[in-house]
Amino acid sequence: MLELNKGKLLYTFEQCQQCGICSAVCPENAISLSLRKDGLHDIEIGTERCIACGKCVKSCPANKEYNYEGYFDGFEQKKYFLGYHADNRIRRESSSGGICKTLIIDSLKNSVVDGVYSLRCTDSFPFARGEFYTRENLPSFGDMPNSVYHSVMACTEIGRIQPCKRLMLVGTACQLRALNSVIKGKCDEIIRVCIFCKQQKTLDSTRFLAKVMGTSVPQNLRFRPRYRGDGWPGIVRVDESELPWNRAAQIPFGKRLWTVPGCNVCGDSFGIEAGADISLMDPWCIRPHNDLGETLVTVHTPEGGRLLQRCASLILKPQSFSEVEPALSLKDVWRKQVTEPVFRGKPYKERYVRAVRAELNQQRLLRMVVEKLPRLPIICYRILAKLPDLRNLILK
């Protein structure tokens, strides 16, 4: 998070959501990003260059006030679909059912939008960067990454966005919020596709997973990762080694280990506050593991519904709220929302402080155990993953 204090630009790493927008909007190139050992970026401010114009502060998503009142009110009335690409090969190789990549490609092909800002795969860490796609620059499925769970500075390439009539923005809520602040005037209409996100990870989560696989992430970060794909929930791969995703995710995700610190100040997993028209997520708890995959789509606006209907390559099955509720993680999102003020240092209820303290202590302890003992029999990780969550016990 960035703020101006008496004309001086201050950076708080603990609230940084790792989107990279600050460096992209700086007119004086005074902000540079430096890679840390855990794969996150520190922001370095060239004080001699900084003119304290405040552009970075205005675009920083961690600075934005959230209004969560009524956040969950409309969920029973929303439209839901389980969907996937009609081609089984694409469906199988995508993160869940391939809805996101299909929307990007089909919407450009069919001129539903004239531009899309999303990600493109790269060869080196963090293995993806921001990209502006058009019909002339149409991506293939392989050009775009599956879910990348370590942080990607997705907003650093906003300079590539060309003026267009209808622009699609694709990203997690924090990225959408950052993009919202800079695209005014560049297009007439915006459609937003939110990748549902409860937390982004540091590279240490991948290091841990590599150890569990019996390999390691090289120090120079020259390796080929793959998160998801090969069915649902798929696999995680580090070079030639792989692990089923449901097993890999148990500890790092279930216990929120190695999380980007700025994720603690975002409770907008669906991107509703960021203006999302649809959100895309996994069908956890409502679909068994299988060889193909499906994406759970939540439609927030009529525009989002129209976008889906105009995508001929998708098979979409309508679902009721009660059918999808177990997958929506509404309680987890609520917990993030109520504990957010504690992380921001704002007025909070004592119970929430206790919950946050308990959670942080539990995380520290678990990290210590699994980092020291990375090759325990898998049964031990299963037991650790099932440990009661202290935060949940306090907030019950």
Ligand X SMILES: Cc1cc2nc3c(=O)[nH]c(=O)nc-3n(C[C@H](O)[C@H](O)[C@H](O)COP(=O)(O)OP(=O)(O)OC[C@H]3O[C@@H](n4cnc5c(N)ncnc54)[C@H](O)[C@@H]3O)c2cc1C
Footprint on this chain of ligand X (rule: CB under 6 A): 94-101, 104, 118-119, 144-149, 152, 154, 170-172, 175, 195-198, 200, 280-282, 284, 295
Whether the CB-CB separation of 276 and 179 falls below 8 Å is answered with no
CA distance 154 to 179: 10
Least distance CB 313 / ligand X (angstroms): 11
Cis amide leading into 126 (omega within 30): yes
Q: Report the distance separating Cα 148 and Cα 133, nearest Å.
A: 19
In whole angstroms, give the CA distance from residue 366 to residue 131: 37
Backbone phi and psi for residue 299, each to the nearest 5 degrees, phi listed first: -100, 120
Among 150, 197, 182, CA closest to 35 = 150
User: Least distance from C-beta 27 to ligand X, angstroms?
Assistant: 26
Residue among 45 and 299 whose Cβ is closer to ligand X: 299
Nearer to ligand X (CB atom), residue 147 or residue 216: 147
Smallest gap from Cβ 101 to ligand X, in A, equals: 4
Nearer to ligand X, 147 or 363 (CB): 147
For residue 4, the minimal CB distance to ligand X (Å) is 28
Torsion of CA 200, 205, 210, 213, to 10 degrees: -100
CA nearest to 279, candidates 183, 380, 171: 171
Encoding tokens for residue 208?
Answer: 């841990």
Rounded to a whole number of angstroms, the minimum distance from the CB of residue 87 to ligand X is 12
Q: Of 9 and 150, which CB lies nearer to ligand X in the complex structure?
A: 150
Cβ at position 141, least distance to ligand X in Å: 8
Compare residues 68 and 348 and give the one whose CB is closer to ligand X.
68
Using the minimum distance from each CB to ligand X, give the nearer residue, 4 or 244. Answer: 244
Q: How far apart are CB 344 and ligand X at their closest, in Å? A: 21
DSSP state of 259: B
Cβ pair 287, 83 in contact under 8 A: no
Contact (CB, 8 A) for 202 and 209: no
> Nearest 10 degrees: CA dihedral of 254, 349, 175, 333?
40
- Residue 30 vs 95, nearer CB to ligand X: 95
